[in-house]
Structure 1
Amino acid sequence: MTEADDKPLWGPAAYLLLVRIWMRAASQYRVSLVLTTLAQFFTTCLDLIAILVIYTHVQTIAGFTLPETLYLYGTTRLAFALSDVVASGVENLATMIRLGNFDLVLIRPVSSLAQVLADQFTPKRFGKLLTPILTLGWALHALPVHWTVLKGAVCVGTVLCGFALYCALWVLTGCVSFIAVDAQEVANSFTYGSENATEYPLNIFGRPLGLALTFVLPVAFVTWQPSLYVLGHSDPFGLPGFLRFASPPAAALLSGLAALAWRACIRHYRSTGS
């Protein structure tokens, strides 16, 4: 073993190594992997079908046409699916803590967050990516938008910032498990619930909830605010125009809070005993 082999792994390097190990384990059962990946794909189609059914009865929803709503759906779903691929291992954290397995995580010379994020990684998660990619591609083709360099950058940034926001949300909700190990469903209501809320125009939920999803749980910056600029809509809540471009600082702020929360939880963790 070389001196370099003795050094602990941190950050992306540790995460990618652990993902590779889990993927090799999952690939041993190829038929099961293919079937579960297809199941993930068809499951993600259900919400899309619901949107299409709704638009067979109406022309617009809260002033948004079908291509515009599918743009919201595609950007939100793609950002969330990417975060699901990278960070949904946090869902296993409550079980790890309850069984005492998180103690093993802490004694390994590898980043604890990387271990948790990569835990039980499976390639079947990639099945969630195809539907939003196809939907977003169709929406971009059908939208009557005059594309500029700035709008193109905002479109790409919508997915990237949304991905960062959702990853931070996974970590923040995962920190709840350090306080109440049986509160996973509560945590899921924020992650999966936020995804469902941002698939549609946010103004269908009314002004109080819309403002709460902007300034309390800032999921409006996942796709709603930047999409208002791309689609040429005014803000129905009367919020200032600079918020259309506030997704990067919102993602940075929430990521910073997630990092601080994780470090605080690790620092105060006292094990579950034997």
Structure 2
Amino acid sequence: MASPYWHLLVAQVRSQTQYRFSFTLELVFSTVLTLLDVATVFVLFTVNDSLGGFGGGEVFLMVGICALGFPLADFAVGNVERLRIYVRGGLFDAVLLRPLSALGQLLAMDLSARRAGRVVQGLVIYVVALVVAPIAWSPAAAVLVVLAPLSAAVFFGAIFVGAATVAFWWIESGEFANAFTYGGRDFASYPTTVFGGLFRRVFAYALGFAFVAYLPALALLGRSDPLGVPDWLRWCSPLVALFAAGLAALFWRTGVRHYRSTGS
């Protein structure tokens, strides 16, 4: 059943590359936006020697994990955020009529090829972060270097799917979803120690964003959490990502069963 999805993807890429100037312009702007995120870190360290008790190389490692993990998720499942448009316009009915996975179709439709460029940019940033950060290398750390951005991608993918699924009940949920997808990316890119109070407890631990980059970075750096989180939790990002994916899949199936056609 892979062939129909492949044809959808090929058709989307061909349609976008027909307008080469527009396609190139989008790639350039996406590159600039990615670099601005990295530049923000350097600006912060021009006025402070540390951020939340961490040096520049250490924070850059957290940024690097997110810089690769988020674009991977956006490239793989980012299209699901258009669900609210399909539900509002009744186009989701046509999706359900085809003998294919509804989620698979949404991911293959309207694929933006420029997202692949962001993945490459994120990979470059992550490699640079691995070079400049004072990593405590070991066999376990070498494995985590690979698993950390992949786990981040799975986690962010779960957030994309879960936030988009809210549209089955609340069509105008775009800003709500963005608070957890793009807002979550910004939160996870910095040390959890810079946040405080209820906000940190909810986003970092209740929602699991501390497991995206902060705790894996601590494991790679050989540092314990200044906030007192047990050291073994630093290695649990793959498990948390899989748990989040399972919850997102369950929520998606519930949303599809709840869906009522615009004509009903």
**Normalization by structure 2: what TM-score?**
0.94
Read off the aligned partner of 1:106 and give its amino acid letter.
L
- 1-side partners of 2:126 and 2:197: how far apart? 27
Instruction: Please identify runs of 4+ aligned residues in structure 1 that moved more than 6 A.
Output: none
Q: Which residue of 2 aligns with 1:18?
A: 8
User: Quick one: which amino acid aligns to residue 108 of structure 2?
Assistant: A
Contact (CA 8 Å) 1:93, 1:174: kept in 2 or not?
yes
Letter in 1 for 2:39: I
Counterpart of 1:148 in structure 2 is: 138
SS at match of 1:139: helix
Mean CA deviation greater in 118-127 or 64-73: 118-127
Paired letter, 2:16:
A
1:128 aligns with 2:118: yes
Letter in structure 2 aligned against 1:235: D
Which residue in 1 is equivalent to 2:101? 111
Structure 2 CA distance for aligned equivalents of residues 126 and 240 of structure 1: 36
CA deviation digits over 1:23-66, x for unaligned, max 9?
12212112211111111111111121121111112211112111
Name which of structure 1's ranges 130-139 and 47-56 shifts more when overlaid on structure 2. Answer: 130-139
SS at match of 2:160: helix
Match status 1:169 vs 2:173? no
Across the aligned residues of Structure 1 and Structure 2, the Cα RMSD in angstroms comes to 1.6
**Residue 201 of structure 1: how far off its partner (Å):** 0.7
Q: CA deviation at 1:233?
A: 2.0
Structure 1 position 207, deviation (Å): 4.8
Counterpart for residue 244 of structure 1: 234
- Name whichever of 47-56 and 98-107 sits farther off: 47-56
Answer yes or no: is 1:190 the counterpart of 2:180.
yes
**Where in structure 1 are there 5+ consecutive unaligned residues?**
1-8
What SS does the corresponding residue of 1:55 show, helix, strand or coil? helix
Query: What displacement does 1:155 show?
Result: 1.6
CA distance in 2, matches of 1:251, 1:230: 18
What is residue 5 of structure 1 aligned with on the other side? Answer: none
Q: Relative to structure 2, which stretch is displaced further, 214-223 or 97-106?
A: 214-223
CA positional deviation for 1:15 = 4.1
Percent of pairs with identical residues: 35
Greater Cα offset, 60-69 or 103-112: 60-69
Q: Partner of 1:4 in structure 2?
A: none
Deviation at 1:85, TM superposition (A): 0.8
Please, what TM-score do these two structures have when normalized by structure 1?
0.91
Call closer, same or farther: CA 1:265–1:146 in 2, change over 3 Å: closer
How far did residue 222 of structure 1 move?
1.1
